[in-house]
Structures are given as structure tokens and as C-alpha cells.
Structure 1
Amino acid sequence: MAESVKDQFRLSPLIRGTLVCVYLALVFPLPLMAPVDLQPMLWIAAPIGLALVLAMLSEQVSVDQSGIHVGHPVWCRWLLRRGWSLRWEEVKRLVPVGTSQGGTVYYIKTLGHGHRLLPQRLERFDQFLSILQKQTGLDTASIGRLTPPWTYQLLFSLALAMLATEVAVALALQLKWLVIPMGIPG
């Protein structure tokens, strides 16, 4: 009896980390800048929002001898019900579609299920493509990542700089090292 081989692929750590950092950089200052009566609500909402972002970024792709499954882990599956599965024999071809940003996404055309978007932001993406090619016989040599890594590296650096500046200003204000005048002198 053949042994069942199963492999899982998650969203690239670079992409996941970048998007979490952008969320923190955009949301962190809100409770600090809000009127006092809104601050408690924002301190509660910020971690809830972070949990939602982490849930959305937890999508995973599982492949085994029978097919491919795209979905979320159990801890957030109840909230994010999207996902799909295909048996390898249902996969018929890959269709490239240009994006408005100049990239190319690929759709998996199937027998009876229409089409499914090929995940292109995965860790170990080359290994994923190798498995897809081996199991379906489709040529994946021309398929690349949706965006080059330098774009996420730049965005991560900018978000990290923004977050560090916000933390430094918040700390300086808290310690009264920095005072922002709130009124026009009369």
C-alpha cells in the first residue's frame, strides 16, 4: 500500500510579518490620539483587529497524493469559511491573467468546478510548484511569485520605521520629554 505524503504550505513569513507590521503601525497610535472617552474602546478593538488580521493571514495549502486543499486552521475556520479542495485529476490547465499592477496571477481550470486562484504567496513556493507539476503533469516553469520579495522588504522597512517612530513619540510624550502645544497662545 502506498504511503500518503502530505505537505503544508503557509503564507510566506515575509508577507505575513509585513502585513502585521503595517497593521500595528496604522492602529497603534489611534488609542493614544483619540479623545479620552474613546480610548478604552480602541484599546479593546485593536487586539480584536489584530486577531482578525492574523486569522486572515493563516490560510494554508495542503497537498497529498489525492489533491490540494486550501483553507484555514481550526482556530479560525469557524470565522473564515472560505476554502476549496480539488483532486489532482480534476486539474486540467493553468490560465495566466494579467493584473492591473503588471503582475500575473494564475487560475487552475478544473473539470466541473470552474476555476480556482493558484496560491502564489506561499513559503517554499518552488517546492509547491514542483508538487503541482509532478501530480498534474502541467508545466509550471513560467510561474513566478506574484510580487518580488523586495516590495515586501521595502514595505516592511517603512512600516517598521513608522512603528518605531510612533513608539518613540508616544514614550517621549508619556515621559514629558516632548510637549505638543494644544492651543493658540492668546
Structure 2
Amino acid sequence: MSLNQAESNLSNSASFRISPLICLTLLSLYIALTIPLPFLAKVVASPVPPALLWLGISIGLILLSGALSERVILTDDQIKVTYPRWFPKFFRQGWELNWSEIKDLKMRTTGQGGLVYYFTSKSQEKAYLLPMRVVGFARLLKLVEIKTGIDTSDIRPLSQPWMYLILLVFTIFLLFVDAWTIVNALTTNLIT
């Protein structure tokens, strides 16, 4: 895609969402880790009632879905990260930054050894995390480069799709173990 084509594509706005593979994997992992808990709580006569666990799991699933509903919107004037209106702002707040305010993209190392990038503003008040798990990340970088003049050729996604595929495969295995656990919990509960 030429620079003129990319600029004309940005003339209205461009929108990017978190990858469906990432959403599916993280939601499935959450379900696999939490669904057996109410069944096991009943079998072991836990002081925490299963209904309370179901309520907590449901709230957690809603909040995780909201966090995974992040959208990155690029317009002629700015880049912004938004979340659905129903999603509580005290969990994750969106942000917006005018193209003219962006000074640089600074690299930082994560605790796990990965690399993330932050937009720094000319006012140096805050740093804004470059969203790296979106569908069309290469296109996002190209548009950022066009609007800011910052070289983005060395920036790579934080994690590759194959990593999430491996996690999804293991999550599916975990769901089978969960099904076995739930069946055993239910049959044990019926016997006693």
C-alpha cells in the first residue's frame, strides 16, 4: 500500500479491535479456570456458597469481556483507545492523543522479557501504551508512521498468534478435565 493510499484510507477514520483469537483464548481460559469451582465447593461443603461463586464468576466474565472490547480509533486528528460505555472507567480508562502532541514511541521491557511501546507526548505529562494485540497491527503501525513521522519498522507485536493457538489448545484440554471434574463432583454429590 502506498503512502497516498494509506493516507486516503485514514481520511475518515480507521478502527481496530483486539484479535478474536486473543479474545476467544482468554475468555475460554477464564471459563476453564473458574467453572469447576461452584461444583467443587458443593462437594467439599465449602463455607462459600456455590451461588456466590456463580455470581462472582459471572461478574468476572462480564468485566473480562469489557476489557477485551477495546477499540483503537485513528482519525485525521488523533489516536484514541475506547471501551464500551457500560464498562466501568475505574477498571480501564481509554485515552486519546492528538497526532501533533506525539513526540516519540519509547520502548520498555515487560516483566516477562517482552517489549512494549509507549507514545510520549510533547508535554511529557503521560505515556500512552501502543495497543499491540489488535487485528491489523501492521496497518496500525503504518498509519501511525504516516501521521507522526516516527519510524515504526522495528516494532513487532508483543505476542505472535501461534502463542495464543498453543494456549487455546491447552485450554481445550483443560475444559475436558473440567468436564470430567464436574461429572465426578455431580455423581459424588448424588451418591452422598
Q: Give the structure-1-normalised TM-score.
A: 0.85
1:4 shift after superposition: 4.7
Which of the numbers 78, 84, 87 marks the counterpart of 1:73? 84
User: Within 1, Cα distance between the matches of 2:110 and 2:54?
Assistant: 37
Distance 1:81 1:156, change over 3 A: closer
CA drift at 1:116: 1.1
Q: Deviation per CA, 1:94-122: give whole Å up to 9, x if none.
A: 11122232221111111114321111111
Question: RMSD over aligned Cα, in angstroms?
Answer: 2.5
Q: Is the 8 A contact 2:28 2:171 kept in 1?
A: yes
- Identify, as 1 or 2, the structure richer in helix: 2
5 Å-filtered alignment, 1:55-94, equals 55-78=66-89, 80=91, 82-94=93-105
Opposite residue 103 of structure 1, the aligned amino acid is G
AA partner of residue 93 (structure 1)? D
Residue in structure 2 matched with residue 5 of structure 1 by the alignment:
12
1:141 aligns with 2:148: no
Moved more, 26-35 or 109-118: 109-118
Instruction: Report the counterpart of residue 168 of structure 2 in structure 1.
Output: 156
1:81: how far off?
5.3
Distance across 1 between alignment mates of 2:92 and 2:111: 28
Letter in 1 for 2:165: Q
- The Cα shift of 1:173 comes to 5.3
CA contact (8 A) 2:83 2:94 kept: yes
Distance across 2 between alignment mates of 1:89 and 1:53: 33
**Structure 2 counterpart of 1:31, one-letter code:** P
Map 1:25-64 onto structure 2 (within 5 A): 25-35=32-42, 38-64=49-75
Q: Distance in 1 between matches of 2:60 and 2:92?
A: 18
Listed as ranges, the matches of 1:92-103 within 5 Å are: 92-103=103-114
Percent identity between the two aligned chains = 35
How far is 1:30 from its partner? Answer: 0.3
Please give the per-residue CA displacement for 1:129-152, whole angstroms capped at 9, x wherever unaligned: 111111111111111101222221
Q: Does 1:126 align with 2:138?
A: yes
Q: Aligned pair count?
A: 178
Could you tell me how far apart the structure 1 residues matched to 2:110 and 2:89 are? Answer: 31
Unpaired runs of 5+ residues, structure 1, are: none
Residue 172 of structure 1 deviates from its aligned partner by: 5.6
Moved over 4 A (4+): none
5+ residue gaps, structure 2: 1-7
Please identify, of 73-82 and 7-16, the stretch whose mean Cα deviation from structure 2 is larger.
73-82
C-alpha distance in structure 2 between counterparts of 1:153 and 1:161, whole Å: 13
Contact 1:72–1:80, Cα closer than 8 Å, also in 2: no
